[in-house]
A = this chain, B = another copy of it.
Amino acid sequence: MNKVITEEEFLSSYNIHEFDIPLTSVDMAIFTVIDQQLKALLVKRSQHPAKGEWALPGGFINIHEDKSLDDTVRRKLAEKTGVDTSHLEQVQTFGNAMRDPRGWSVTIAYMALISADNIQLIADESSEQVEWITIENNQHLSLAFDHNDILNACYKRLKSKVQYTSLPINLLPATFTLTELQKTFEIILGSSIEKKSFRKRLLDADIVVETGDFRIGSNRPAKLYKAKKSGKEHLFPRSIQGSK
């Protein structure tokens, strides 16, 4: 005979420690551009499992400290870079019985875009080394767990978005020239973009404004721009092609 119980009674007798449930973590690909190359942040693990192997920054949700997944991710980002980010995006969640030797586990993968300016990388007790590594097409890295797959998924998302959004603007410092911005797009896209098309697209989109200053070199000075902070990324009506 089933006694009908209230939700309150149900909850008071509910104890998650009795269940076999998956471990849940977050991992992130933190992207930036340094020396004309796309880089992602990797850490060398100083703890078991996969001790000594390179991996994406990440870790378990602290259910007492974090109010939401976003909190967890921003906490991890700050631990390694000391900065917040202008663009944080959930990419994909990976979960299966095999990916972690501790058991069935789930990880929610994010990508963050930051400007490399003024970043000091921070090692801590969980990672003995922290480094920017160059990301290229068809590259083989031997990362811990399934972090290769995760990094690839994030890279793929970034490459896809460069074609129809203004997202790569978040990889640059606060002010930049249109040529610098174009170069950033090209680095991610992996091919060159026609200058006039790029500039028209961008200026028509009304997502950048002139600062009034110029970048001075040994040639014609370039107008400096900054991103209009509308909050949301601009979607272009057509996707951009590489050229030539």
Contact = CB atoms under 8 A, between A and B. Distances in A.
A67 B92 CA distance: 18
A16 to B, nearest CB: 6
The oligomer's copy count stands at: 2
A122 interface: no
A51 B21 contact: no
Contact of A51 (B7, B20, B23, B94): B7
Contacts of A103: 16, 63
A69 interface: yes
Nearest to A62: B20
A17 B17 contact: yes
A48 interface: yes
A17 B238 CA distance: 51
Interface of A: 5, 7, 10-11, 14, 16-24, 48-51, 60-61, 63-64, 66-69, 90, 92-98, 101-104, 106, 108, 235, 237-239
